[in-house]
Amino acid sequence: MDWNFIIFSVVKVAVVFGALMTMVAYSVMAERKIAAWIQDRPGPNRVAPPFVKYIPILGPFLTRIGFFQPLADGLKSFLKEDFTPGGVKKIYFWLAPAVAVIPALMTVAVIPFGSVMGAQKMVIADLNVGILYTFGIVSLGVYGIVLAGYAANSKYPFLGGIRSSAQMISYEIAMGMSVIPVLLIAGNLNLSGIIEWQATHHWLICYAPISFIIFLVSAFAETNRTPFDFAEAEQELAGGYNVEYSSMKFAMFPMGEYAAMLASAGMMVTLFFGGWTLPFWGLDQPAHSLGMGLAHILVFIAKMLFFMVVFIWVRWMVPRFRYDQLMDLGWRRFLPLALANILITAIVLWLRS
């Protein structure tokens, strides 16, 4: 047994989990704030613990930007009655929220969020098949929703579940196909390897922009975000799969959704935007000091947050698709486009070698 490995892995898991959960909480806050700003509102700006008003400038500022809102939201979820409706299929009903959250958290394990700190690589599991692992795990997230829709034993959740399964078969192939040119160019399935390749060359967005567009759109579908949030569809299905849920079990679904968004943002940053590297200030080499290691992590988080903002921004702009339209988009537009993209990339690489 390699105790060193175990201890550092546990520490990394704990830290990443903690950071991810914090980011999930504040993503919800950011979502509400950005939504408000786009709709010409100030957004949540009242919640504050009593002592905050005694802090001179910072206190009112933090209250104003809704800094304490996630605490209130979380507390509220915990304190609400956890109601199980009479007609539900209990086992699946209890299982579904967990199935929705866990895959989103597991995806994060292979994403390199920094270069090195000391002797430790800043990735929880440096798998050689990182991308395959991600695609395998990410698809599981849909089962949480389908299961929730099935277990609730009621109309709207059921429709949500059906839509979600229809959605899954539409985007997933296009998404998988879109990444292949990236792998062809980088010549590596290991996510750290892909980042190292981007450190020595340019970011992969310059080589495979079409891949990026397909991946981005598929990521919206995968994380159930508007314009592809049919499973939830507040206006049509009154919340879809999560109608019958309450309390913490309900909170698990948004938690899973936002964790999946963060994971998707992390994947996009890793695959197309150079991960933790920046092409200047010598930030494109693995760090030699703890400070540089920290800087790399911050760069990664900054890039990830940019994509989070894009996710949120797009939500308040595009009307929802019908799910046959997504199928049309996935099968008749993106799949041929992705195949052509693979072919062209392969030919260009073959000609240049």
Applying CB under 8 A, the residues found at the interface with other proteins are: 34, 36-42, 45, 213, 313-314, 316-318
The least CB distance from residue 42 to other proteins, in Å, is: 5
The least CB distance from residue 178 to other proteins, in Å, is: 16
Which of 146, 327, 135, 319 has its CA nearest to residue 231? 146
Nearer to other proteins, 135 or 316 (CB): 316
The least CB distance from residue 128 to other proteins, in Å, is: 36
Distance, in Å, from the CA atom of 252 to the CA atom of 255, rounded to the nearest integer, reads: 5
The least CB distance from residue 47 to other proteins, in Å, is: 14
CB atoms inside a 10 Å sphere around CB 343: 11
The least CB distance from residue 36 to other proteins, in Å, is: 8
Nearer to other proteins, 34 or 199 (CB): 34
Nearer to other proteins, 288 or 332 (CB): 332
DSSP-assigned beta bridge partners for residue 121: 116
The least CB distance from residue 337 to other proteins, in Å, is: 11
Q: By the 8 A CB rule, do 120 and 278 touch?
A: no
Residues 6+ apart with CB under 8 A from 253: 97, 100, 144, 145, 148, 241, 242, 245
| Residue 273 backbone dihedrals phi, psi, to 5 degrees | -120, 30
The least CB distance from residue 30 to other proteins, in Å, is: 12
Rg of the chain over all Cα atoms, to the nearest angstrom: 21
Distance, in Å, from the CA atom of 14 to the CA atom of 3, rounded to the nearest integer, reads: 16
Q: Is the peptide bond before 254 cis (omega within 30 degrees of 0)?
A: no
Which of 249, 88, 223 has its CA nearest to residue 154? 88
Nearer to other proteins, 69 or 165 (CB): 69
Sign of CA dihedral 202, 262, 149, 143: positive
The least CB distance from residue 316 to other proteins, in Å, is: 6
Nearer to other proteins, 255 or 338 (CB): 338
Nearer to other proteins, 36 or 98 (CB): 36
Nearer to other proteins, 79 or 317 (CB): 317
Q: By the 8 A CB rule, do 195 and 121 touch?
A: no
Nearer to other proteins, 273 or 334 (CB): 334
Nearer to other proteins, 19 or 35 (CB): 35
Residues 6+ apart with CB under 8 A from 217: 171, 329, 334
Core vs surface per residue 186-208: b (16+ CB within 10 A) or e: bebbbbbbbbbbbbeeebbbebb
For strand 116-117 and strand 120-121, is the pairing parallel, antiparallel, or unpaired? antiparallel
The least CB distance from residue 314 to other proteins, in Å, is: 7
Residue 183 in tokens: 């792998």
